[in-house]
Amino acid sequence: MTGGFKVLLLLLSLCLVVWTKPIDRNQDPPEEEKPEENADTGLYYDRYLREVIEVLETDPHFREKLQTANTDDIKNGRLSKELDLVGHHVRTRLDELKRQEVSRLRMLLKAKLDSTNAQSVQMDHASLLKQFEHLDPHNQNTFEAKDLELLIVTATKDLENFDAERHEEFKRYEMLKEHERREYLKSLDQEKREEEEKRIKELKEKHRQHPKVNAPGSVDQLREVWKETDGLDPQEFNPKTFFKLHDTNGDGVLDEQELEALFTKELEKVYDPKNEEDDMMEMEEERLRMREHVMQNVDLNHDRLVSLEEFLKSTEKKEFNNPNEWETLDDTKPVYTEEELQRFEAELQDREMELGRRAEKLRQEQELLKERSKALEAQKREYQQAVMEMSQKQKEQQALNRQPPSGPNGELQFQQEMQKLANEDSQVVKVPVNQNGVQNNLPAEPPQNLPQHTS
């Protein structure tokens, strides 16, 4: 990504200084560069922001206009008017990105409403989208100049407040930690409470036992990086060479991420993730404090970047060679007051009560579902019993339908036929046999009613 677009990416890495080679339209197009990896801005629309800028970077006209734009033109969104002159394929891709972002925001809104048990409420997406300031909610299908202006202005404002939000988040973290400590001590008896308080005190004292921390941006701090990180002789320290060594992306400025990387050695003196007494959240807050200290003393034009010229001027100041000793978080006042802690605990209590009410409501709903389930189970058993009785009746009826017809006395017809056959068998003449089993020749009875013949 070119230096010109780092100006637009005040939004991505808080860079506002332009450094880029002029575009020569007579030269062959340069070889495609690998995309530069930027740290996440922390904005909830970070991905959308990155993708928009990557697409705009592909348009030669917009790139050329960006080179001549000053910081105010970019931050105020006046550069967005050039969007009307970009290529059709660029506008088409930007339209697609906006529709994807609108769809994503709709999903976020739905999830938010679902979490507040407002599923039955009819959503007016056009109205709800107004709470998102980085795009035009009235036009949800195409990316216009107003969308680019809103994106730049909103990101600039959000990033200017980003450090303050980080400090506030850390304050809430510290208050929660103190609240949990106090609640835990309340749960102990007197003897165990005293033991735990003694243990905590010892951990705090152990944490304070660390080497001297050099003031960030001072000659001692930079020489230590020069020696430990760069592997160079501290006696040969050269500010210009140091700047170029730590301008890791070669854009001619030190952004906030590059500056914070310089403080790692100092932070390692105080914080070790293996030690129980060292809190890594506090380490990140310390890193932020160091970076703000350097920016306050070095960043003369307040563009949240350190140019080579600004860096070299800072090395000429008295504070560079004779800085005051750096005070860590342990040496400064607590980040919260007792009154703030009490308000925070009241908020926690209200939240716990609300969660309790929701839990009770869910329990009641669960009991109701159990009762309904029992009723449905009883109805199911009654239905199954009725089906079985009906099936049995059908079988009995089918058996009756298959029986033969009965006689005049109620006997079955096939019984009458069998009796008739039995009677006929009883009337059959039996032929006598002799002792040898041979039938006796009995004289035949003369036929009756035959005429008598005389000799």
pLDDT in tens, 302-330: 878 899 999 999 999 988 998 888 999 98
Q: How far apart are CA 168 and CA 376, in angstroms?
A: 53
The per-residue pLDDT for range 419-441, each reduced to its tens digit, is 666 666 655 555 555 555 555 55
The per-residue pLDDT for range 146-188, each reduced to its tens digit, is 888 888 888 878 877 888 889 999 999 999 999 999 999 999 9
Model confidence band, residue 4 (pLDDT cutoffs 50, 70, 90): very low
Question: Other C-beta atoms within 10 Å of 51: how many?
Answer: 16
Residue 445 pLDDT: 53
Cα of 113 vs its chain's centroid, Å: 16
Q: How far apart are CA 293 and CA 192, in angstroms?
A: 42
433 in helix, strand or coil?
A: strand
Torsion 306-308-314-320 (CA) sign: positive
Question: Other C-beta atoms within 10 Å of 450: how many?
Answer: 7
Residue 201 has pLDDT above 90, yes or no: yes
161 in helix, strand or coil?
A: coil
Alpha helices in 145-189 (DSSP H): 145-160, 162-186
Max alpha carbon distance in the chain (Å)?
Answer: 184
CB pairs under 8 A, 24+ apart, for 332-341?
334/174, 335/167, 335/170, 335/171, 335/174, 335/285, 336/171, 336/174, 336/175, 340/171, 340/175, 341/175, 341/178, 341/179
134 or 5, which is more confident: 134
Residue 67 has pLDDT above 90, yes or no: no
Residue 387 has pLDDT above 70, yes or no: yes
CA nearest neighbour of 159 among 257, 361, 13, 4: 13
Among 106-120, 213-227, 245-259, 371-385, the minimum mean pLDDT is found in 106-120
Confirm if 6 and 13 have CB atoms less than 8 A apart: yes
Structure tokens of 43? 């904005």
Residue 13 pLDDT: 42
Model confidence band, residue 278 (pLDDT cutoffs 50, 70, 90): very high
Q: How far apart are CA 42 and CA 165, in angstroms?
A: 11
Q: How far apart are CA 327 and CA 209, in angstroms?
A: 13
Residue 163 pLDDT: 86
The per-residue pLDDT for range 24-34, each reduced to its tens digit, is 434 444 444 44
Percent of the chain whose predicted confidence (pLDDT) is above 90: 46
Residue 455 has pLDDT above 50, yes or no: no
Angle between helix 190-208 and 162-186 (nearest 10): 150
Model confidence band, residue 202 (pLDDT cutoffs 50, 70, 90): very high
Q: How far apart are CA 108 and CA 400, in angstroms?
A: 68
185 in helix, strand or coil?
A: helix
What one-character DSSP code corresponds to residue 27? Answer: S
Mean local confidence (pLDDT), 45-66: 86
Structure tokens of 134? 């980085």
**Which helix or strand (DSSP H or E) is residue 355 part of?**
helix 338-402
192 or 423, which is more confident: 192
Q: How far apart are CA 144 and CA 166, in angstroms?
A: 32
Residue 234 has pLDDT above 80, yes or no: yes
Output the DSSP codes for 181-223.
HHHHHHTS-HHHHHHHHHHHHHHHHHHH--PPPPPTTSHHHHH
Q: How far apart are CA 276 and CA 51, in angstroms?
A: 41
Confirm if 91 and 36 have CB atoms less than 8 A apart: no
Residue 26 pLDDT: 43
Mean local confidence (pLDDT), 267-281: 94
Among 13-22, 255-264, 366-375, 407-416, the minimum mean pLDDT is found in 13-22
What is the residue type of 263?
F
Please tell me the chain's helix, strand, coil percentages from 3-state DSSP, rounded to the nearest 5: 60, 0, 35
Q: How far apart are CA 340 and CA 81, in angstroms?
A: 46
What is the residue type of 15?
C
Please list, residue by residue across 159-186, b when 16 or more beta carbons sit within 10 angstroms of its beta carbon and e when fewer do: beeebeeeeeebbeebbeebeeeeeeee
Among 155-159, 342-346, 349-353, the minimum mean pLDDT is found in 155-159
Structure tokens of 250? 């070669």
Q: How far apart are CA 336 and CA 285, in angstroms?
A: 14
Residue 14 pLDDT: 39
Residue 449 has pLDDT above 70, yes or no: no
End-to-end Cα spacing for the chain: 154
